């Protein structure tokens, strides 16, 4: 068997000849014109056809962009999109012509480069350099004020999706890199229209810049869209949506052919108590929680807490404290103005909630900071050591069915009728067969803190996750301190720094105070 003949290649630097579709050399008639066809929005097949047509007629058409190119031809791209692409290639040579495909087709018909008219030129919206200069942000997210008003949502959505995928693949480092890049864009006062506006900004690595460039040129990120449509990403999203299931467990299930809830139910795999509850109440737990629902749960929790410990205080934390209108769960921080009065509070609160039928699932962890010899500021991990209750809450819906109508007590708290069991559990039904319920399942975390640590706990449980990570990084690298949800420790002076408010913590760290509504990094 004879080996296939290699196609004869012509160097892109050759200027005297071109190669047509048959592989034969064609004399170059216009050596002063070097063309490059931009594939974006044109497509590879059409680009190949048009390139071969140009070479056949004696034009120099480069396969790869180089400094020899004098004319860039594109189809269905704006001047700013092409300029943005060009800037990413060589810093943006002003001498090159940015032309619409119409100039190319007219030149093909004429058999020569036609005169470049205004209608052939891609129109570029000039970027005011003074405006571009406002895109300057500090290195740390905890130094920035980031509200919920995001001027670059398309860009940050793409980066956030890639971050989520990295986290689902248990690649936290890559996930943090994308989160930091998205946080920088969220802090910008205006929409990004060109990569030139991002010069000198921190946390924008090569990968993130490629994603941003793709969105600026095409309106979306091909990588993010491909990730979103991948079967593995979909399976990881579904399986980690089960309360009590992390990326490693989900990946193990996927390796064993489990990609859906139906397959998991049919597999016979043994689930722990949290996973059983998460699977049973999957739809409710994965439905966004509204601020109104969070407030309703807050009233119930406050009633429970004050019933067993008068004078205790309950504070809504997490995204809702930062001003968000929806969330994935609801977090509450509980304390008492008298140090030590909070000890033993959590079991009593949980017992009250269970007796009233509000808990579908709960797991309480005891505090461990009281038993530690190395002090509350030095936990073994970023997780705090407060006494906590991870729960799935049973919240009555506004539209209740008569068969399970909750009755209202005089204190304004709704209680389910005694005909349901104490936890209100329903049999696990398939999604198609599941009947509408007069209640919904909501993820709720309860945390008890002593008053001496309340300011640190409030700061730590307010978020965002990246903002808190950056606060700890700032404390360690810039101030030689250790910050946790329990305390702030000065490593140089070997002592704890007291604080009764978040403002005092920021002051200790040498930072301008950032209110909760501006911590949405």
Edge-to-edge strand ranges of the sheet holding 359-365:
313-316, 330-335, 439-448, 387-396, 359-365
Largest CA-CA distance found in the chain, in angstroms, rounded: 95
Q: What is the CA radius of gyration of the chain?
A: 30
**Does residue 295 carry a catalytic annotation?**
no
* CA 167/CA 133 separation, integer angstroms: 33
Strand, helix or coil at 176?
helix
**For the chain, the helix, strand and coil percentages under 3-state DSSP, each to the nearest 5:** 40, 15, 45
Selected catalytic residue, list 100, 214, 331, 384: 331
* CA 30/CA 486 separation, integer angstroms: 74
329 assigned ligand-binding residue: yes
DSSP letters spanning 43-97 = -HHHHHHHHHHHHHTT-EEESS--TT--EEEESS--HHHHHHHHHHHHS--TTSE
Strands 439-448 and 330-335, by their bridges, are: parallel
Which 8-state DSSP code applies to residue 434?
P
398 assigned ligand-binding residue: no
**Does residue 433 carry a catalytic annotation?**
no
Which 8-state DSSP code applies to residue 452?
G
Inter-CA distances, 140 with 133, 153, 467, 521, Å: 19, 20, 9, 10
Start-to-end Cα distance in the chain: 63
Is residue 38 within 8 A of residue 63, CB to CB? The reply is no
- Burial readout 436-462 (b: 16 or more C-beta within 10 A, e: otherwise): ebbbbbbbbbbbbbbbbbbbbbbbbbb
331 assigned ligand-binding residue: yes
Name residue, tokens 């991002």: 198
Name residue, tokens 């739809």: 283
Selected catalytic residue, list 20, 157, 283, 445: 445
Strand, helix or coil at 514?
coil
To the nearest 10 degrees (0 to 180), the angle between helices 172-186 and 153-168 is 170
* CA 34/CA 66 separation, integer angstroms: 10
| Other residues' Cβ atoms within 10 Å of the Cβ of residue 407 | 9
Residue 38: alpha-carbon gap to chain centroid: 31
Residues 6+ apart with CB under 8 A from 383: none
Inter-CA distances, 332 with 299, 316, 320, 389, Å: 11, 5, 10, 10
**Does residue 331 carry a catalytic annotation?**
yes
Is residue 319 within 8 A of residue 288, CB to CB? The reply is no
Catalytic center residues: 329, 331, 445
Binding site, by residue number, is 329, 331, 445
Binding site for Mg(2+), by residue number, is 329, 331, 445
């Amino acid at each position: 068997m004879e080996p296939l003949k290699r196609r004869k290649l012509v160097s892109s630097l050759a200027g005297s000849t071109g190669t047509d579709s048959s592989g034969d050399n064609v004399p170059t008639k216009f050596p002063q014109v070097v063309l490059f066809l931009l594939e974006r929005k044109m497509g590879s097949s059409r680009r190949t056809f048009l390139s071969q047509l140009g070479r056949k007629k004696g034009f120099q058409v480069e396969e790869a962009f180089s400094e020899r190119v004098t004319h860039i031809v594109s189809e269905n791209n704006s001047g700013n999109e092409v300029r943005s692409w060009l800037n990413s290639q060589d810093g943006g040579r002003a001498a090159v012509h940015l032309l619409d495909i119409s100039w190319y087709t007219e030149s093909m018909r004429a058999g020569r480069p036609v005169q470049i008219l205004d209608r052939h030129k891609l129109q570029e919206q000039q970027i005011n350099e003074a405006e571009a200069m406002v895109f300057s942000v500090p290195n740390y997210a905890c130094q920035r004020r980031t509200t919920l008003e995001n001027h670059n949502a398309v860009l940050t959505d793409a980066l956030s999706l890639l971050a989520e995928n990295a986290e689902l693949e248990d690649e936290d480092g890559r996930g943090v890199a994308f989160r930091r890049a998205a946080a920088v864009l969220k802090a910008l006062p205006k929409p990004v229209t060109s990569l030139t506006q991002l010069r000198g900004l921190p946390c924008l690595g090569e990968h993130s810049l490629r994603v941003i460039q793709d969105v600026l040129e095409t309106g979306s990120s091909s990588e993010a869209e491909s990730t979103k449509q991948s079967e593995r990403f979909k399976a990881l999203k579904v399986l980690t949506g089960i309360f009590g299931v992390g990326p490693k467990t989900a990946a193990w299930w996927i390796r064993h052919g489990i990609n859906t809830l139906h397959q998991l139910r049919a597999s016979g795999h043994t689930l722990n108590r949290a996973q059983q509850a998460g699977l049973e109440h999957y739809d409710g737990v994965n439905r966004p929680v509204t601020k109104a629902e969070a407030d309703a749960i807050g009233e119930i929790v406050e009633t429970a807490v004050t019933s067993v410990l008068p004078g205790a205080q309950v504070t809504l934390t997490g995204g809702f404290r930062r001003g968000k209108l929806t969330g994935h769960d609801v977090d509450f921080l509980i304390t008492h103005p008298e140090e030590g009065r909070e000890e033993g509070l959590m079991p009593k609160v949980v017992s009250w909630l269970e007796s009233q039928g509000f808990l579908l699932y709960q797991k309480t962890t005891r505090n461990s900071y009281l038993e530690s010899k190395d002090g509350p500021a030095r936990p073994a991990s970023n997780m705090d050591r407060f006494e906590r209750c991870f729960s799935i809450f049973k919240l009555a819906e506004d539209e209740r069915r008569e068969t399970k109508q909750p009755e209202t007590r005089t204190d304004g708290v709704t209680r389910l009728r005694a005909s349901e069991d104490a936890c209100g559990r329903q049999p696990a039904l398939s999604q198609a067969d599941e009947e509408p319920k007069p209640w919904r399942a909501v993820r709720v975390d309860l945390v008890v803190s002593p008053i001496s640590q309340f300011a640190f706990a409030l700061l730590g449980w307010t978020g965002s996750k990246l903002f808190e990570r950056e606060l700890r990084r700032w404390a360690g690298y810039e101030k030689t301190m250790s910050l946790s949800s329990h305390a702030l420790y000065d490593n140089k002076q070997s002592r704890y720094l007291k604080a009764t408010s978040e403002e005092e913590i920021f002051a200790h760290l040498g930072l301008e105070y950032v209110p909760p509504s501006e911590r949405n990094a």
